[in-house]
A and B are shown apart, each in its own frame.
Chain A
Amino acid sequence: MGEFVQHLINGLAAGTIYALVALGYTMVYGVLKLINFAHGDVMMVGTFFAYAVARGLGRPANTSFLGVTVIFLVAMAGCALLGLVIERFAYRPLREKPRLTALITAIGISFTLSYGFQLDFGPLPGAAPRAFPEIIPPREWLILGDRAVVIWNWQVISLGIALLLMVALQSLVYRTRFGRAMRAVSFDHRTAALMGIPVDRVIALTFMLGSALAAGAGILFALKDTVVQPLMGLYVGLKAFVAAVIGGIGNVPGAVVGGLLLGLVEEFVVGYSASSWRDAVAFSFLILVLLVRPSGLFGRATAEKV
């Protein structure tokens, strides 16, 4: 029983990270109908920004509440900027082109970022994994039974931050004018433009938002894994994409559900079999969803007009 609960906690912790990244994917797909392959790698860049700031602040500054906040804000702002640049120079010129062209470009950017960061010169970090500073010094917060269940402080904090960000996003999308503009653009960007919505700006802001969320997710991920390395974004990104697809790509609450579901299933499968099957979970899910119900749990099935 204890093992079960432990897996549950771990799965939720991982799931919220997937959910945060999946939100970025789903928002961008909503407004651009593009699978932003590079999203996971933007997350990676954000994590390295945080790494640099945390190292720069040094102990004990980087463990203080102010320090941690600064780290988060700088990383998120940095990623937002990166997202803006990518959208402006790589995706916007291709907006009227076939979706495949943009997909190839996204793959290209993903590789440039992830493998580019593996290079050794200049500011680029290089391939070796680095220990992420313990900005939240790990402490066991709750021990149930005879160490059957151990809940760490960073798990709870991580969950809390993730939930906070998700609630903020939810109110943004459904209660503000900007959110309404976003949703309008996701339905039909040409009509939205005719209605006076600044489509370019909405898309750019959506990108920035998604990228900022990814940075936050990346920091939480680094807290969980304790190391960072340039290729970390590739697989997390892919899995978060699977989560977004499970929930129905383009659907915001769906991304959250998908992320949590994926995190839980992954954790349980690994817990009861072997860790080498971890990746297979996400891919099996992906294949299953795409073949059985491509619109996901909550998505709209769009039919092609003949």
Chain B
Amino acid sequence: MASIPAPLRGVLPVLLALVVLAGLQLFVGDLPFFVYVSSLVGVNIILAVSLNIVNGMTGQFSIGHAGFMAVGAYVGGKLALEMKDLAIAGLPSAASDQLQLLASLAVGGAAAALAGFLVGLPSLRLRGDYLAIVTLGFGEMIRVIVSNLEVFGRALGLSGIPQTSSFMMIWAWVFLVVLVARRIQDSAHGRSLLAIREDEVAAEAMGVDTTGYKVRAFVISSFFAGVAGALFAHFVPIINPGSFTFVKSIEVVTMVVAGGLGSITGSIVAAVVLTLLPEVLRSLFLQVGGLEGGAALAQKVDQIRMPVYGLLLVILMLARPQGLFGSREFWDALPRWWTRFRRAAP
């Protein structure tokens, strides 16, 4: 792997995956199932990788990520609703749609970033358990506020957001978040984040502005969560407060922990597996089981998902707390015999 230039390392697998996906899309791109699942996977990857920047690299345990997703979804979605009847003259409607989508994403992301700043600044002074709880509190507060505001549709939520999310847009943002995370990881500032994770007092004594770094990481992470939320709003027919509960935050936390805190590839793999598995199982039961039995089994998959996540967390912590790849990337965690094999070959 040393032959690949440093900036590209880590991003290459994503590029490859994108090529594969693009190929797949040519064949099955019209299947609503494929579109839905691939969109969901993309959104979850963005959520997991962005959360990893804070939880994994900086070692600040935040469990309110769904709150920022909500901000992005609602703000971006509201903007899209307002812009619905506008169209940019001179462009084909598809391009105009994408441009409007991009605007929603940018604004949603910016709003979420602002929320991240407002939440992060006072909270990041706290350590460990307390930080986790206060981020949980903020995430829920955001949800409660949104569900009480008329402009956001209260408990009913927003509907009618143009379903313009496209394959290209989602995976472009996946690429972007992985790129940013990778660049951070590979830079002096990433090292400072890791130092904060290892020993905050020592890092502060070595000239690292710990508060500034933590808040910055939090803001970047929230930005992408907001983008993910706005994307989500553009491929589901309705968004309501129930889509952004504490449960969603824990789902993302599970992905990050299972993949390994600090490992970008770990987060990606965990996000893919944990999103695909229930969806695939569900549609399998629907297909195979016929109308009655299949639907019942499919519903069971939905129900089983959460307790399984819970059990997964417990088992992980007891048996393999470092998750899949620990804090390294998958090419670092390759078993020794593989590297020995490669070295042996001329």
Contact = CB atoms under 8 A, between A and B. Distances in A.
A105 B317 contact: yes
B30 to A, nearest CB: 35
Contacts of A1: none
A111 B250 contact: yes
Nearest to B129: A35
Contacts of B306: 111, 115, 118
A103 B122 CA distance: 22
Interface string A97-110: 10111111101111
Given A99-B128, A111-B310, A120-B303, A290 B250 contact: no
Interface in A228-280: 234, 238, 241-242, 245, 274, 276-277, 279-280
B201 interface: yes
B238 to A, nearest CB: 19
Contacts of B329: none
B346 interface: no
Interface stretch (A49-57, A173-181, A218-226, A281-289): A281-289
Contact of B318 (A93, A238, A287): A93
Contact of B314 (A90, A120, A304): A90
Contacts of A165: none
Interface string B119-132: 00011001011101
B77 to A, nearest CB: 20
Contact of B130 (A90, A93, A107, A290): A290
Contacts of A109: 310, 314
A99 B126 CA distance: 14
Interface residues on B, range: 35 or more
A286 B134 contact: yes
B140 A279 contact: yes
A150 B322 CA distance: 56
A304 B126 CA distance: 12
Interface string B302-321: 01101101111110111001
Contacts of A107: 63, 250, 253, 310, 313
Contact of A290 (B63, B133, B154, B300): B133
Contact of B144 (A279, A290, A306): A279
Interface in B325-339: none
A103 to B, nearest CB: 6
B38 to A, nearest CB: 26
Interface in A139-157: none
B144 A280 contact: yes
The dominant DSSP class at the A interface is: helix
Contacts of A291: 122-123, 126, 134
Contact of A280 (B61, B141, B307): B141
A107 B318 CA distance: 13
A93 B141 CA distance: 34
Nearest to B312: A108
A75 B12 CA distance: 57
A116 interface: yes
Contacts of B321: 97, 101
A112 interface: yes
Interface string B266-289: 000000000000000000000000
Contacts of A99: 128-129
Contact of B304 (A97, A105, A119): A119
A94 interface: yes
Contacts of A113: 310
Contacts of A234: 246
Nearest to A284: B141
Interface string B290-307: 000000000010011011
A67 interface: no
Contacts of A100: 61, 128-129, 132
A294 B144 CA distance: 23
Contact of A108 (B129, B132, B147, B310): B310
Given A97-B321, A109-B310, A35 B133 contact: yes
Contacts of A238: 136
B148 interface: yes
A158 B145 CA distance: 32
Q: Which 8 A-B pairs have the closest CB atoms?
A: A108-B313, A111-B310, A112-B310, A115-B306, A108-B314, A116-B307, A286-B137, A105-B317
9 contacts: A108-B311, A118-B303, A238-B136, A242-B137, A276-B154, A276-B155, A280-B145, A283-B141, A287-B134
Interface of B: 61, 63, 122-123, 126, 128-130, 132-134, 136-138, 140-141, 144-145, 147-148, 154-155, 201, 246-247, 250, 253, 257, 300, 303-304, 306-307, 309-314, 316-318, 321
